[in-house]
Amino acid sequence: MCRFVQFLIAFTLAAPLHAHAARPFVTDDARVVDEGGYQIETFVKRQRAFKEHEFWLLAAHNPFGRVELTFGGTAMQSSLDGNSNSLIAQAKTLLKPLERNGAGYALTLGVMRVERAPPTPVETGPYVNAIASYSFADDSVVMHTNLGARRDDAAGLTRGTWGIGVEIWMSERLYGIAETYGERGQQPTRHFGVRYWVVPQRVQFDGTLGIQDGNPARRFNTIGLRLLF
């Protein structure tokens, strides 16, 4: 492993964190980083309805061919929920590679640790996510579906999770994304955006807008960078 990647992984483990799929999706996909490859994702998220900012950093590596390991974290400053830091460790296993005009399947297992200001106790919860992806029209449209669960330590229960998303080919370097996702006890989130490959399959910039109804409603935007090597 190169020293640059070692540094980034060490940084994510020392910093705050959260997890998700390849930017800018939250819904996960039945894909993994190429065998022996690395991926770095970072982005900022800002709420528009109230004062809240998040910074995310995720590092992934595929040492075994069909298993992608991810470590990372997020730092959040929120006038509504208070400040918090999170750490995550995750493994995604590719059960069937996604093929053009076909389907792919994967399974994700992970654990998340959330630390808030005292006296709130540290929360640690495992999660599982089953993933199915489908390719249509020679990959012009790819749909991703998720069904899983996570342990909510604070509430003392297990929450079901779900997600449905599509990515749409717009040009050689530009893709649109649209998704909706949620969990038991929450209103669904609607999320839209674009990803642009500055260097195809190596350097990606992306931006999104999201909406979640509630009291208060959440209106957010994100800007992100993804590196593959």
**pLDDT at 11 (0 to 100):** 35
Query: What tens digit of pLDDT does each residue of 60-116 get?
Result: 999 999 999 999 999 999 998 899 999 999 999 999 999 999 999 999 999 999 999
Assess whether pLDDT exceeds 90 at residue 20. no
Assess whether pLDDT exceeds 60 at residue 17. no
Query: What tens digit of pLDDT does each residue of 163-199 get?
Result: 999 999 999 999 999 999 999 999 999 999 999 999 9
Is 2.60.40.1730 the CATH classification of the domain at 3-228?
A: no
Work out the average pLDDT over 120-149. 96
Q: How many whole angstroms separate alpha carbon 46 and alpha carbon 44?
A: 7
Residue type, 204: Q
Confidence of residue 2 (pLDDT cuts 50, 70, 90): very low
β-bridge mates for residue 59, sequence order? 40, 71
Instruction: Give the DSSP H or E segment for 116.
Output: strand 103-116
Work out the average pLDDT over 117-137. 94
Assess whether pLDDT exceeds 90 at residue 155. no
Confidence of residue 16 (pLDDT cuts 50, 70, 90): very low
β-bridge mates for residue 191, sequence order? 179, 210
Return mean pLDDT, the chain.
91
Q: What's the pTM value of the predicted model, to 2 decimals?
A: 0.87
**pLDDT at 119 (0 to 100):** 86
Give residue limits of the domains in the chain: 3-228
Query: pLDDT > 90: what percent of the chain?
Result: 83
Q: How many whole angstroms separate alpha carbon 126 and alpha carbon 10?
A: 21
